[in-house]
Structure 1
Amino acid sequence: MSLPPGFLDELRNRVSISQVVGRKVLWDPRKSNQGKGDMWAPCPFHQEKSASFHVDDRNGYYYCFGCHAKGDALKFIQETENVGFMEAVEILAREAGMPMPARDPQAAQKADRRSELAAVMEEAVRWFRLQLQTGAGQAARDYLAGRKLGQAAQDRFELGYSPDNRQALFHALTGKGIAPDLIVDAGLCARPEGGGEPYDRFRGRIIYPIRDARGRCISLGGRAMDPNARAKYLNGPETELFDKGRSLYNHGPAREACGKGQPLIVCEGYMDVIALVEAGFGGAVAPLGTAVTEDQLRMMWRVHPEPVIALDGDTAGTRAALRVIDLALPLLEAGQGLRFAVLPAGQDPDDLLKSGGAAAMTKVIEGARPMVDLLWQRETEGKVFDSPERKAGLDKSLRAAIKRIADPSIRSHYGDEIKRLREALFGTAPRGGDGFRSDGFRTEGFRSEGFRGEGFGKSGGKAPRAANTTGAARKPQGKPWQQVQVLPQASTRLSALAGSEEGVTEYLGEAMVLAIFVAQPALVMTFESQLETLHLTHRDHQDLRQLLLRLAHQPGRLNREEIEEAAPEEVETLMSLPHVRIAPAVRLAEDPETGRLGLAEAMAKLDAYRIARSEIEHAMRDMEALVDEGVTWRLSQAARAIERAHKGPEAESRQSVKASNGLELDKEELDLSRELFSKIDFSRGGKPRK
C-alpha cells in the first residue's frame, strides 16, 4: 500500500519522537533538557546503566552511542515491537489520531464496520471484568486463586466472568444504546432459531479476551465453571473481526517479547500461555481451539524464525505435534524452521511450571529437538525392521515425506540427516568417515532424490570409490585422520552467500536490483509498484526496500546520501559486491536511461531465473514418474527463458543468424566481425590490407 505524499511528515509532526520513546525508557533528568527536546536515557536495545541513548525531538531521530542503534519514531516502533513498516505506521497513526488512508470507499466502509464491532467487544470486556468482582463471580475468583493467578495476572489478561443468565450481557449492552445487530455480529449473542430476542453465547464461564496483533479485542474464550458442561472451553464464532485459523492468543505481547530476544513458545491453551508469561516467558502464544493452521504457522514465522512447539506430554499432544510436521514440511525455508519441546508425560506447561518452576521449563525449551528428529521418531517408533521389505517400507515413507519439502537445499540436508539416522539404526554406519564398513563393502546410503546428502550445490555427495582390480571393493589408501576437511571461516558461514547455488544466484539478483535503486534513487518513484511487490528473500534486502519506499514520500529525502546515512552497513555491503561495482547502471549513476534499462534488465533476469527454476523443479519431479516430450519441452523452455533474460531486454529486437552447426549468432555482431576480418590481410601476418 502506497501512502499519499505528506502523510508521514504530518504523522511525525503530530507525535514527537520523545513521546514514542518515552513509553519504553526512563529519562535521565540530569542529562535531559526537555525544553530543548534533548533527551537522554539508558538504551532499550542493549543492557547498560549509563544514559548513552540520545533522542533529539527537533530532528526526530534517536542514536545510541553504545550500540549505534539509530532511526526515527517509526524505526523505533519497528525495532521495539517487532512489527513491519506499515504496521508501525498504523500504530503511530492511532496514537496521533490520524486515520490510515483507505484503498477505496468500500474498504473504508468495511474498516468503519470493524471499528464499530471492536468498540462493542471492548464494552463487553469491561462488563465481564466487573462481573468477576461481584458476588456472582465468587466461584470464578476462587478457581483463579486455586490456579495461582493473582490480581496482577488477572488485570494483565483482562479476565472476566459471565453470569449464568440467558440475557444478562444482551440487556447490559442494549441498555447502553448498542444495536442488537452489532451485538450479534460481534459474536457475543446468538438469535434463537424460533425467533425472539438474542441470547448470550457465554454463560457461567470465566472469560478470556482474545486480541489481535494490533491490540483490538476480536473475540472471547470462555471456560465453563460447571464440570458437566458440554464444552469445557468455548470460543466465539467466526465474525468480520475474528478468524480463528488466522489468530493467536497473546499475539501482540508475544511479538514484542520476541523482538527483545525471547523465544516464541507455542502451547495449547489460555492457561498455559498465562502461566508461561507470568513465569517470565513473554513470547507464549496458543492457537484458538483448532490444530495449528498454515496461516498461523506463517504468522509465527513472522514473529520468530524458529518457534518452539511445546504441546502437552500426552498422546494427544504428540499427535498434534506430528500434524504440525506435515503442515510445515512444504513451507520450510532456509533459516525458518520449528523445534519441539518434549514435556514430561502427562504434563502441560502450566503443570511443569507448578512442579519445577521456571528453571524446569527453561531446561525443556533449551532441549527442544529439531523437526527432523520428530519425523524420524514418527516413522520408526514401536516398529521392527527385521526384513528387507520392512526396511524398504521405511525408506518409501521417508522419501515421500522429504519430497514434500520445496526448498532443495533443506531437502538435501534432511536427506543427509535421515541417512545418518538410518545407518545408525541398521548398524551400517561408516567407520572413520571414509564411506566403507569394516567388512569392506561400501555403504551407499540412499541414492534417490532427497537422500543423496549433496549438501550445498554440487559439493558433498558420495565418497569416491576406491580402485578395484580384484573384483571386490577395498578400502581407499590413507588414514581417516589424514583426510582434510576444509571448513568455511566464521565470517563466511554467516554470510548470505554461504548457501546453496540457487540461493547465491537469487541473492545476487536481488542485490543488483536494489543497488541500482540506491545509485539512482529517482527510479524508485518510477518503479514504485514493482519495488513494493518484489519478492525479497534476504532480511537486509527487505529492510532496505522499506527504507527506499519510506524516503520516497518524504520531499528532499530520496537521495543517495540520505539512504547511506540511514543504512550505512547495508548500503556498503550491497555496493561492495563485485558484480554490482562493474554494472553500468551503478557506475554511470548520472545517466538515467542507463539506469532505467539496467533496472529493467536486472528485474527481468531475476524473474526469469525464479520462473525457470520453479519450472525445472516441477519437470524434474515429473521425470521421476514418466519422461515424455512434454517434460523435456518444459526444461528447454526454462533454459531459453534464462538465456533470454541474460541477453537483456534490448536483445529481443535484434536479428539472429543460425550457423551450420546450429549455433545462434547475433546478426549485428556477426556483420561487425566480418567487416573487421575483411580489413585484415592474413597473408602479410595479420597486417591491414592496403
Structure 2
Amino acid sequence: MALIPQSFIADLLNRVDIVDVVGQHVKLKKAGANYQGLCPFHSEKSPSFSVSPTKQFYHCFGCGAHGSAISFMMEYSGLGYVDSIEELARSAGLDVPREERAANDVARQQQAMALSEVMSSAADWYRQQLKGNTRAVEYLKGRGLTGEIAKRYSLGYAPDGWQGLEAVFGPYSNDEVAKTLVEGGLIIQGEQAEGAPVKRYDRFRDRVMFPIRNPKGQTIGFGGRILDQGEPKYLNSPETPLFSKGNTLYGLFEARQAIRAQEYVLVCEGYMDVVALAQLGFPNAVATLGTACTANHVRMLLRQTDRIVFSFDGDSAGQRAAQRALEACLPLMSDDKEIRFLFLPTEHDPDSYVRAYGAPAFEKVIKEAMSISSFFFKIASEGHELTTPEGRAHTHHAAKPLLLSMPPIALRTQILRELAIRTNTTPAELEAFCGLTVVPAPVQKQAYQPTQARSQNNFSNTGNRQGAPWQASKGSAKRVAQNIEPPKAPTDLAEQMLRVLIQFPHLGKALDGNKRTLALKAAEQRSTKAHALMQDLLSQCDLVELVPGDAGKPASVGAGSFAMFQDQLSRSELAPLYEVLRKRVMDSDLDLDGAVADLDGAFKKLELTHLKQEMTEITQRLSGGTATEQDRARYRELGEKLKFS
C-alpha cells in the first residue's frame, strides 16, 4: 500500500496556515494572540472556539474539539486522513508523494478516477432527464418535494429504455466504454451465447434516481425508485471499487451541517425517508442502503455527533434491524455518547408520521425514543420469564455476548448492575458468569516521599524537575521531620481541579464555600504554588461574566470575559505553572459534561477522604479513653455516611 511520508505531512503542516484553513468555514476574529469564532462542531451563541496561529492548533472550550489543520478537515468535511492531506496539499499547490507505490496501487487509483468521472457524468444526465419528464416530476411533487430539495439531493430520472446512457458514453458495443460502465454498476452485461452479440443494457430504467455521494460530494453510486408497480421497488448500485454499502450512508454529505446544528443524527431505512424528512424540517437524517447497520456506519456517525437516533418500523423486520444496530453500537459506546431507538407504529414511516401528526409530534417521539440501555434489557429478556430461574438464566445467556462486546465503561457497569437487580442476582455473580470479574492486583505500600519528589515523578513532563512549578510545601517538610504519614487524599486531584477550572471558569464561579475550602486544601497538600494558583484562579473565576445559554442549556463564559480571565492569569507571578496546565488543557479532549463529572468526582473523593480522616481521629480518642459524647455521636454519624458513600 502506498504510504505518505511523515516528512511530507510535517512540511505540509508548516506550509498551510490553520487560520486560513479554518477561516474558509468559520468566521474568525482576532482575540489577543489567537483568533476566535463560533464552534462549527456544536451549537453556541458566544464564541468559545479558539485558533492559535503560533501553535497551529484549534481548541473549543465548549465541546473540547481540538487538533491540527488535518484533523479539522477530517472532522468538518468528513474526509478520511489521506483525503484530508490530499485536500490540504492541493490548496498549497503540492503533490502528495507516495512511498512504495506498487503498480497495482497505481492501476486501482486510475480505475477509481475513471469510475468517478463516469458516475458524475451519469448523475448529470439523470438530472437533466428529470427536468423533461412530467411523470417523474409529478411523482416527486406528490410526495411533497419541492424543486429546492430535488436540487439539494441532485435527484434525477432514468428513462424507460434499454440503452439510455449511450447518449452520454457512446455505443455499448465499444468494449472499453462498456467495461467501465459495467464496473460502475450502470449497465448489465448478459451472458453471451456462442456466436451471438453481447447483450448490454441499463441497470436503471424508468426510475427516480437518488445519487449516493461520498464525504467529498462525489457520486459513487445510485438508488432508483420505480414509478409504477414492479419489483424491486428500490434498486441500488452493486458493490463497486467506489461503492460499498457497509461503508456508506445515504444523505450524510448533505446532512453534515444540519447534524452539527441539531446535535444529533436520525438514521432511517430508505432514500425517500431522508429526502422527505429534509423537506419537512429534519435535514439531519441519513439512511443505510438496503443492508444492516454496520460498525463502520456507527463510526462514521460518531465522528459527526455524540447523539444517534435510529428510526425503525415497529414490525418484526424493524426489530431485527434494530437489534443488528444495537450489536454494531455496543463495542463503540463511550460514556459521553447517547444512542436511542425509535419505533414508529407499523402503519407509519417517518415521512407519513410527520404528515399525519406534524413536526412537533415527531420531535417529541424522537426525544422519548428508547435509550440503548432500555433496548439492551428488552433484547436480553425478550421471550424469557424473569419470575423463573430458567427465564433468568436465559436472560443472562442472551446478555452475556452483548456485555462482553462493550468496552469497560461506566455504562457497562450500570447495565450490569441493573440487569442483576432485574434477575435477582448480585453484580458479582453476573460478572463472574460473563467472565468480566477482574482480580485486583495486590496493593503495595510505598515508603512516603516528600511532595517535591512525588511531584517530579507525577509531573516530570512539565519540563522542570527541580521543584518548579510544583514545590514541596512547608507542611510536607514538617511531616517528614516528624516521620508522620501524610493524609491519603489523592494529590493528583489538585491538578484535575485546576485544569477543569482553567478550561471552564464558570464552574469555579458556581462553587460554594465548602467546595472551595476542599479545593484549596487539596492544592495546599500538593504545593505552595498550587495552593496560590488555586486561590488566584478562584478569584478570577468570580470575575468572569456569564452569557445565558439556550433553552435548557447552562450559561457559559463570554468570549471577552474569557480572554480577560486568561490574560490576568498569564500576567500573574504564577504564570509558568498556569501555562503548563493550560497547555495540558489544549492537548486534552475534555468537554463540558466530562469537566462537570471530573469536578464532582474530585470533590466526592476529597469529602470521603476527610470523613475517613475525621473518623480515624475519633477512633484514636476512643481507644485512648479521651472521647466525648459528641465524639461518639459523630462517630455513628460518620459511620452511616461512609456506609452509603
Alignment TM-score, normalising by the size of structure 1: 0.55
The Cα shift of 1:3 comes to 3.4
**Are 2:87 and 1:77 aligned?**
no
**Are 2:313 and 1:312 aligned?**
yes
For residues 89 and 124 of structure 1, the distance between their equivalents in structure 2, rounded to whole angstroms, comes to: 28
Give the alignment partner of residue 223 of structure 1, picking from 222, 225, 243.
225
For residues 159 and 294 of structure 1, the distance between their equivalents in structure 2, rounded to whole angstroms, comes to: 28
**Are 2:285 and 1:287 aligned?**
no
**Are 2:585 and 1:569 aligned?**
yes
**Structure 1 residue matching 2:344: 3-state secondary structure:** coil
**Are 2:172 and 1:200 aligned?**
no
For residues 321 and 36 of structure 2, the distance between their equivalents in structure 1, rounded to whole angstroms, comes to: 49
Amino acid at match of 1:201: R
Give the alignment partner of residue 185 of structure 1, picking from 183, 186, 194.
183
Give the alignment partner of residue 114 of structure 1, picking from 97, 112, 115.
112
Which residue of 2 is the match for residue 296 of structure 1?
297
Which residue of 2 is the match for residue 350 of structure 1?
351
Give the alignment partner of residue 155 of structure 1, picking from 151, 155, 164.
151
For residues 40 and 410 of structure 2, the distance between their equivalents in structure 1, rounded to whole angstroms, comes to: 37
Amino acid at match of 2:233: K
CA contact (8 A) 2:190 2:198 kept: yes
For residues 333 and 54 of structure 1, the distance between their equivalents in structure 2, rounded to whole angstroms, comes to: 26
CA contact (8 A) 1:414 1:450 kept: no
The Cα shift of 1:116 comes to 1.2
Amino acid at match of 2:124: R
Give per-residue Cα distances to partners, 1:246-273, cap 9 Å, x unaligned: 2111233444544556212211011112
C-alpha spacing 1:329/1:57, structure 2 compared with 1 (3 Å): closer
For residues 446 and 564 of structure 1, the distance between their equivalents in structure 2, rounded to whole angstroms, comes to: 42
CA contact (8 A) 2:43 2:263 kept: no
For residues 380 and 53 of structure 2, the distance between their equivalents in structure 1, rounded to whole angstroms, comes to: 60
**Structure 2 residue matching 1:321: 3-state secondary structure:** helix
For residues 170 and 573 of structure 1, the distance between their equivalents in structure 2, rounded to whole angstroms, comes to: 53
C-alpha spacing 1:226/1:331, structure 2 compared with 1 (3 Å): same
Amino acid at match of 1:222: G
Which residue of 1 is the match for residue 429 of structure 2?
447
Give per-residue Cα distances to partners, 1:583-633, cap 9 Å, x unaligned: xxxxxxxxxxxxxxxxxxxxxxxxxxxxxxxxxxxxxxxxxxxxxxxxxxx
**Structure 2 residue matching 1:248: 3-state secondary structure:** coil
CA contact (8 A) 1:409 1:455 kept: no
**Structure 2 residue matching 1:338: 3-state secondary structure:** strand
Which residue of 2 is the match for residue 166 of structure 1?
162
For residues 36 and 187 of structure 2, the distance between their equivalents in structure 1, rounded to whole angstroms, comes to: 50
The Cα shift of 1:418 comes to 1.2
Amino acid at match of 1:340: F
The Cα shift of 1:65 comes to 11
The Cα shift of 1:5 comes to 3.2
For residues 417 and 401 of structure 1, the distance between their equivalents in structure 2, rounded to whole angstroms, comes to: 14
CA contact (8 A) 2:342 2:366 kept: yes
The 5 A counterparts of 1:216-615 are 216-227=218-229, 229-260=230-261, 262-329=263-330, 332=333, 335=336, 338-381=339-382, 384=385, 387-399=388-400, 401-405=402-406, 407=408, 411-422=412-423, 447-449=429-431, 568-571=584-587
**Are 2:89 and 1:93 aligned?**
yes
**Structure 2 residue matching 1:206: 3-state secondary structure:** strand
Which residue of 1 is the match for residue 216 of structure 2?
214
For residues 452 and 202 of structure 1, the distance between their equivalents in structure 2, rounded to whole angstroms, comes to: 50
The Cα shift of 1:314 comes to 3.0
CA contact (8 A) 2:224 2:236 kept: yes
Amino acid at match of 2:212: I
For residues 20 and 47 of structure 1, the distance between their equivalents in structure 2, rounded to whole angstroms, comes to: 20
**Are 2:137 and 1:141 aligned?**
yes
Amino acid at match of 2:366: I
For residues 352 and 180 of structure 2, the distance between their equivalents in structure 1, rounded to whole angstroms, comes to: 40
For residues 43 and 152 of structure 1, the distance between their equivalents in structure 2, rounded to whole angstroms, comes to: 28
Which residue of 1 is the match for residue 128 of structure 2?
130
The Cα shift of 1:419 comes to 2.2
Percent identity at matched positions? Answer: 35
For residues 247 and 60 of structure 1, the distance between their equivalents in structure 2, rounded to whole angstroms, comes to: 32
For residues 379 and 6 of structure 2, the distance between their equivalents in structure 1, rounded to whole angstroms, comes to: 53
Amino acid at match of 1:230: E
The Cα shift of 1:166 comes to 0.2
For residues 338 and 316 of structure 1, the distance between their equivalents in structure 2, rounded to whole angstroms, comes to: 20
Give per-residue Cα distances to partners, 1:277-318, cap 9 Å, x unaligned: 344444422111112233333333343444221112333212
Structure 2: give runs of 5+ residues left out of the alignment. Answer: 441-492, 501-575, 591-645
For residues 61 and 289 of structure 2, the distance between their equivalents in structure 1, rounded to whole angstroms, comes to: 44
**Structure 2 residue matching 1:109: 3-state secondary structure:** helix
Give per-residue Cα distances to partners, 1:32-91, cap 9 Å, x unaligned: 9xxxxx999777567788999998999988899999999765454345335565443233
For residues 43 and 331 of structure 2, the distance between their equivalents in structure 1, rounded to whole angstroms, comes to: 39
C-alpha spacing 1:156/1:282, structure 2 compared with 1 (3 Å): same
**Structure 1 residue matching 2:358: 3-state secondary structure:** helix
Give per-residue Cα distances to partners, 1:188-217, cap 9 Å, x unaligned: 111121242521100000001111223221
CA contact (8 A) 2:22 2:72 kept: yes
For residues 66 and 301 of structure 1, the distance between their equivalents in structure 2, rounded to whole angstroms, comes to: 18
For residues 26 and 444 of structure 1, the distance between their equivalents in structure 2, rounded to whole angstroms, comes to: 55
The Cα shift of 1:224 comes to 0.7
Amino acid at match of 2:291: T
CA contact (8 A) 2:123 2:156 kept: yes
CA contact (8 A) 1:158 1:209 kept: yes
C-alpha spacing 1:368/1:17, structure 2 compared with 1 (3 Å): same
**Structure 2 residue matching 1:311: 3-state secondary structure:** strand
**Structure 2 residue matching 1:307: 3-state secondary structure:** strand
**Structure 2 residue matching 1:341: 3-state secondary structure:** strand
Give per-residue Cα distances to partners, 1:323-346, cap 9 Å, x unaligned: 323444455555456321232442
The Cα shift of 1:181 comes to 1.6
CA contact (8 A) 1:412 1:455 kept: no
C-alpha spacing 1:152/1:57, structure 2 compared with 1 (3 Å): farther
Bigger shift: residues 1-10 or 241-250: 1-10
Give per-residue Cα distances to partners, 1:217-242, cap 9 Å, x unaligned: 11111001121x22000001111111
Amino acid at match of 1:107: D
Which residue of 2 is the match for residue 627 of structure 1?
none
CA contact (8 A) 2:314 2:345 kept: yes
C-alpha spacing 1:419/1:9, structure 2 compared with 1 (3 Å): same
For residues 64 and 168 of structure 2, the distance between their equivalents in structure 1, rounded to whole angstroms, comes to: 53
Instruction: Please provide the CA RMSD for this pair.
Output: 4.7
For residues 327 and 49 of structure 1, the distance between their equivalents in structure 2, rounded to whole angstroms, comes to: 35
The Cα shift of 1:455 comes to 11
**Structure 2 residue matching 1:303: 3-state secondary structure:** coil
CA contact (8 A) 1:402 1:450 kept: no
Structure 1: give runs of 5+ residues left out of the alignment. Answer: 33-37, 424-442, 459-487, 496-559, 575-690
CA contact (8 A) 1:263 1:304 kept: yes
The 5 A counterparts of 1:39-50 are none
CA contact (8 A) 1:207 1:222 kept: yes
Aligned residues: 448
C-alpha spacing 1:120/1:57, structure 2 compared with 1 (3 Å): farther
